[in-house]
Amino acid sequence: MVAGLTKGERQFAIVISVVLALCGLFLAGAGHQRPLGVHGLLIAFLGIATVFVVLSGYIAPEPSEERLSSYYDDPSKAGIIIAMIWAIFAMFIGDWVAWLLAYPEMTFDAAWASFGRLRPVHTTGVIFGFGGNALIATSFHVMQRTCRARMPDQLSPWFVLLGYNLFCILAVSGYFIGVTQSKEYAEPEWYADIWLVIVWVTYFVLYLRTLARRQEPHIYVANWYYLAFILVVAVLHIVNNLAVPVSLGHAKSYSAFSGVQDAMTQWWYGHNAVAFFLTAGFLGMLYYYLPKRAERPIFSYRLSIISFWGITFLYMWAGSHHLHYTALPHWVQTLGMTFSVMLLVPSWASAGNALLTLNGAWHRVRDDATLRFMMVAAVFYGISTFEGSFLAIRPVNSLSHYTDWTVGHVHAGALGWVAFITFGSIYAVVPILWKRERMYSARLVEVHFWLALAGTLIYVFAMWNSGIIQGLMWRTYTESGTLAYSFIDSLVAMHPYYVARAIGGLLFLIGAAIGFYNIWMTVRTAREEPLEPVADRPIASDTPAGAVQPGE
């Protein structure tokens, strides 16, 4: 890791780590004996540890100039391993939460293990820990390949990856000790938020710098999606997290928004987090790894264009469908609903573009579980977006809102789409990154595929059933015009579905664990002579983008 950095970069890395450690020490002092103090110490510790890591490799010889004619993949490798660690951790917590909902005594009377703390650990762990790291790792890989250019330096990708994980660690450890600003998917407090802004802007700039160095005249679709993901998430994150801390010594802060404005800002954020984190980024993955693996051209270039702009434009308006029948003015709800209905078209256009790309390669889909992961992902993308547009219709939402149907929709997207495309892409990219011929075991990929599919189907069907039953029970009236069921009745009715969901989740988790083992063994099993990355075009030369000939 350190050996890949130039001398100057090593020095700069030490400076950054020292500054970080000092900030940590400041927070530790200011927040002494409060949760913020704990985080301060954690930051200081990690900063100092990084200084030592860099120092221990400091005297290593500088990387040779030859490096410039190859892609820089070390951060991608690290990112993929880290993503898998987060996957196992956060899905374990997810399954714990699932069992907890069926057997509420599973908190063992510990505050840190209560539902309200474990749940955000799960959501942050899977979305940001697993999903985010996978996005960062693959985006580095994809942008270099499709630009045919090496990243401009070695330090910024490491800063982005490790800095991002510091954010994730602060977030998750914070929930356990009770730090949260209680905005869903934006729970971390102000200091973690500020840090993420720094990291994210670096990420954005790194992406732009790489694009500027590209040797290809055109920018490939995958890059549009990754860029949209990075840019929009930055905007969302900054706006939704505008807040005033109680003091520099307190973790707690108060949002700049209040009442219905706060709700609308939060769900404008929340929905576009779905759109640009859980959708756009992963479409970037899909658009690179699927055609690559299928060895087929993209079905239609024009379809890519209209679905990209359709998604980017329409998603922005749809957030208010999370607030149907609330204090939010009726007209805002109407807009949210209608834009969600229109959104279905570009969403299905993307899913269709992916699936139709497989025409001519279906025999591969049959034989290759990696490609099948991506195929199923596209199918679930289609299912969950159809479901989403349906749920956004007000009368439908009056049944589904507050029920497990939402949770079913979430996991049709999260498991079926996000996790499937990620696993597919990871299986595709691991052999390339580590220069192996193939994964350690194709059979284990196959086993993972079926476990994941079974787990997803059990999960989603259980939640559809329980959600609809719940919704109906809550609106069933007796002849005398009063509610027929108490809330406890509906909980009792949910119990079998909660158990089923937890079993489905367990299958999914076991699949992920097998996947991790397979990846680990692929990395460990050294080849005699490492493969040249046959799949990659060589980097042309290290000339800047301006040198691209006109007319290309």
Partner 1 sequence: MAVAQRDPHTGYTTTGHEWNGITELNRPVPKVIWLFLAATIIFSVIYWVLMPAWPLVETYTKGVLGVDQRSSLAENLRIAAADRASWTQQIETRNFAEIQADDSLMQIVRNTGRPLFEDNCATCHGMKGQGGHGFPRLTDDAWLWGADPATVAETIRVGINSTHNETRVSQMQAFGRDGILDRAAILDVVTYVRSLAGAEPTGDERSDSIAAAAEVFAANCAACHGESGTGNTELGAPDLTDESWIYGGDRQSVYTTVYRGRQGHMPHWEGRLSALERKLLTLFVLDLGATKQ
Q: Which residue has the tokens 């700049």?
A: 256
Q: Which stretch binds ligand HEM (CB under 6 A): 52-60, 89-97, 240-248, 291-299?
A: 89-97
Write down the least CB distance from residue 133 to partner 1, Å: 23
Q: Which stretch binds partner 1 (CB under 8 A): 17-25, 160-168, 218-226, 422-430?
A: 218-226
**Pattern 22-61, partner 1, x by CB under 8 A:** ----------------------------------------
Q: Which stretch binds partner 1 (CB under 8 A): 187-195, 278-286, 293-301, 375-383?
A: 293-301
Helix (H, G, I), strand (E, B) or coil at 244: strand
- 515-544 burial: b if 16+ Cβ within 10 Å, else e: bbebbeebbeeeeeeeeebeeeeebeeeee
Q: Which stretch binds ligand HEM (CB under 6 A): 191-199, 229-237, 271-279, 438-446?
A: 271-279
Evaluate the CA torsion angle 518, 417, 371, 503 in order and state its sign. Answer: positive
Binding partner 1 (rule: CB under 8 A), the pick from 176, 485, 517, 520 is: 485
Q: Which two tokens stand for residue 367?
A: 């034989």
- Residue 489 interacting partner from partner 1, ligand HEM, none (CB closer than 5 to 8 Å by kind): partner 1
Beta bridge partners of 419: none
- The footprint of partner 1 on residues 304-333 (CB under 8 A) is 304, 306, 310, 325, 329-331, 333
Helix (H, G, I), strand (E, B) or coil at 11: helix
Q: What's the Rg (C-alpha) of the chain?
A: 24
**Nearest partner of 314 among 265, 349, 285, judged by Cα:** 349
CA distances from 504 to 409, 443, 463, 546 (A): 15, 21, 11, 53
What is the rounded CA–CA span in Å between residue 152 and residue 149? Answer: 8
Binding ligand HEM (rule: CB under 6 A), the pick from 54, 91, 263, 453 is: 91
Residue 206 near ligand HEM by CB under 6 A: no
Write down the least CB distance from residue 551 to partner 1, Å: 8
**Nearest partner of 376 among 267, 453, 295, judged by Cα:** 453
Q: Which stretch binds partner 1 (CB under 8 A): 131-139, 142-150, 266-274, 493-501?
A: 142-150
Write down the least CB distance from residue 74 to partner 1, Å: 19
Cβ atoms of 476 and 414 closer than 8 Å: no
- 58-71 burial: b if 16+ Cβ within 10 Å, else e: eeeeebeeeeeeeb
The backbone torsions φ and ψ at residue 483, rounded to the nearest 5 degrees and listed phi first, read -60, 135
Q: Which two tokens stand for residue 161?
A: 């990856």
Q: Give the residues lining the site for ligand HEM (CB under 6 A).
A: 91, 94-95, 97-98, 101, 119, 122-123, 126-127, 131, 184, 270, 274, 278-279, 318, 321-322, 340, 343-344, 347, 384-385, 388-389, 391-392, 397, 400-401, 406-407, 409-411, 413-415, 417-419, 505, 508-509
Contacts with partner 1 by CB under 8 A lie at 145-146, 148, 216-218, 220-221, 288, 291-292, 295-304, 306, 310, 325, 329-331, 333-335, 337-339, 341-342, 344-345, 348-349, 352, 359-360, 478-489, 535-537, 551-552
